[in-house]
Structure 1
Amino acid sequence: MEYNIINYNVLKEACNDIGVEFTDEIFEKFDLYKDLLKEWNEKVNLTAILDDEEIFKKHFVDSIKIFNFKPLMEAKTLIDIGTGGGFPGIPIKIIKSDIKVTLLDSLNKRITVLNDVVSKLKLKDVELVHGRAEEYLNEKKLRDSFDIVTSRAVANLTTLCELCIPYVKVGGYFVSLKGPNAEEELDQSRNAIGTLGGKFVKIIPIKIEDSELHHNLVIIKKVKESEKKYPRKWKQITGKPIK
């Protein structure tokens, strides 16, 4: 098989950076994932990024940089809230095949796409869920149940904390993939983090190979169970954020 050398090298360098063995099989899965995204994007709005190299850098590499947070390698269960085109949940699964991943999204069309992606990439132990984060938690009794909860650029950090922290088991982590304004968002969400049973651990700066992009991982540890009243209904979460 003939590979695009630029995308191949970018992914290889990223895997080296996170301490993961890079293989041709890994690249082939990401390359097929890229093709499926572009194909499906003609029918369902998944991404505004359609250039092959940009997909690799801004979606795939950005997602797998979460492995700079080393405890992720020990995790057995993960839920990706507002997964969209499958980021970062599917890239995490490609890199760490033994983790059970749940992909949650409020738009059923995207879940249909991800079903096709998961099937064609031959990924096992991936659950796809159409639902809203603030409702699905109580419907399926998933409170305090996941080792890792992830969310990437879905909403501001205060809102994300209320949606995500209740899913995390005590001793587990909420990892929010954020842009350059992570520090500012963190300052505005510190009370929410504590109220929801979390404790801020650190921000891990992320560098995307061969680009000027600078992103951040905001790491929050769950130190006590979230009160049953959280998460509230969406209008309350956004209209009266936890101060």
Structure 2
Amino acid sequence: MDKQILFLLEKGLIELNISINSTQKDQLLFFINMIEKNNRLFNLTGFKTHVDILVDLIFDSLSFLKTSFPLKEINTAIDVGTGAGIPGIPLNILFPHIHFYYLDSNHKKINFIKIVASQLNLKHSFFLCDRAESLGHDSIYREYFDFAMTRALSSLSTNLELVTPFIKVMGKAVFFKGSSYQKEISLSSNSFSLLNCHLESILSIPIPLSNRQNYFIVVSKSSSTPIDYPRRIGIPQKKPL
């Protein structure tokens, strides 16, 4: 597995214009192997082969780096609905100085990420098994983070309600979206207004070794999130703002 995947990994990194050291390459390969080996046990992802995991999870995550977003300047980040540790783990491997928090309500997936982070020696990793609707009201985490991200969690309107309470005023949130992003944005104008945030940019990046594009919706928060948000568990999904 390793020689083939290493070749494909290096090819994709060239496409993304990302330079990493041999230790980081080994860490990414280890992570791919961990997902493949433990997928059934932890119910991690629908992507089952090493190649699919590389392209649809690792490159999907790392494509964000081609946006030139200043991750070197970020100190605290939260990956909301992280699942198997995507996109947080690949980004944390390349930016180990960031204090990364992984949030998911699934105990099995959080336990898997704990094992991975320990094996990869990601010293600034923290694990939160909870619902975003609840944790978003916790004074420890509310408006604590410089940066938040989520991938494949829900509609943009719901994403905004679940994620933006975690970021500081003037902090940034990034949402990984597919080709329907324009419709989602048009349906989210009320959410932007109620949650005191605004659309900063939309960045389109091709995913290496695939025919897909990632659309990154970058959002900035201009003032504190009103205390009413996020609403109680399940409501942001059932009744988007």
After TM superposition, the structure 1 = structure 2 runs for residues 1-80 of structure 1, keeping only pairs within 5 Å, are 3-4=3-4, 5-16=6-17, 20-67=18-65, 68-80=67-79
Q: How many residues align?
A: 239
Question: Structure 1 residue 147 and structure 2 residue 135: aligned?
Answer: no
Displacement of 1:12: 2.5
Are the aligned partners of 1:146 and 1:168 in contact in 2 as well (CA < 8 Å)? yes
Q: Distance in 2 between matches of 1:103 and 1:116?
A: 13
Are the aligned partners of 2:12 and 2:209 in contact in 1 as well (CA < 8 Å)? no
Structure 1 equivalent of residue 127 of structure 2: 128
Q: Distance in 2 between matches of 1:93 and 1:26?
A: 10
Are the aligned partners of 2:142 and 2:166 in contact in 1 as well (CA < 8 Å)? yes
Displacement of 1:90: 0.6
- The range that moved more, 99-108 or 65-74, is 65-74
Are the aligned partners of 1:174 and 1:221 in contact in 2 as well (CA < 8 Å)? yes
Show CA shifts across 1:13-45 (max 9, x none). 2551xxx43222111101000111111112111
Amino acid at match of 2:184: E
Are the aligned partners of 1:11 and 1:56 in contact in 2 as well (CA < 8 Å)? no
SS of the residue corresponding to residue 159 of structure 1 reads helix
Q: Distance in 2 between matches of 1:167 and 1:14?
A: 33
Q: Which runs of 5+ in 2 are unaligned?
A: none
Structure 2 equivalent of residue 100 of structure 1: 99
Question: Structure 1 residue 224 and structure 2 residue 223: aligned?
Answer: yes
Q: RMSD of the alignment, in Å?
A: 1.7
Amino acid at match of 1:29: Q
Amino acid at match of 1:133: A
Displacement of 1:140: 4.7
Q: Distance in 2 between matches of 1:175 and 1:135?
A: 21
Show CA shifts across 1:42-97 (max 9, x none). 21111111121221111011101222142333111100000000001111100111
Displacement of 1:234: 2.5
Q: TM-score, normalised by structure 2?
A: 0.94
Displacement of 1:203: 0.9
Q: Distance in 2 between matches of 1:235 and 1:82?
A: 14
Amino acid at match of 1:169: K
Q: Distance in 1 between matches of 2:29 and 2:190?
A: 42
Q: Distance in 2 between matches of 1:86 and 1:102?
A: 10
SS of the residue corresponding to residue 226 of structure 2 reads coil
SS of the residue corresponding to residue 110 of structure 1 reads helix
Show CA shifts across 1:126-154 (max 9, x none). 00110001101223532211111100011
Show CA shifts across 1:182-232 (max 9, x none). 111111112201210111011100201122011210000111110011001
SS of the residue corresponding to residue 218 of structure 2 reads strand
Q: Distance in 2 between matches of 1:123 and 1:33?
A: 12
Q: Distance in 2 between matches of 1:171 and 1:191?
A: 19
Amino acid at match of 2:13: K
Structure 2 equivalent of residue 171 of structure 1: 170
Amino acid at match of 1:75: I
Q: Distance in 1 between matches of 2:127 and 2:15?
A: 27
Q: TM-score, normalised by structure 1?
A: 0.93
Q: Distance in 1 between matches of 2:81 and 2:117?
A: 17
- Structure 1 runs, 4 residues or longer, greater than 4 Å off: none
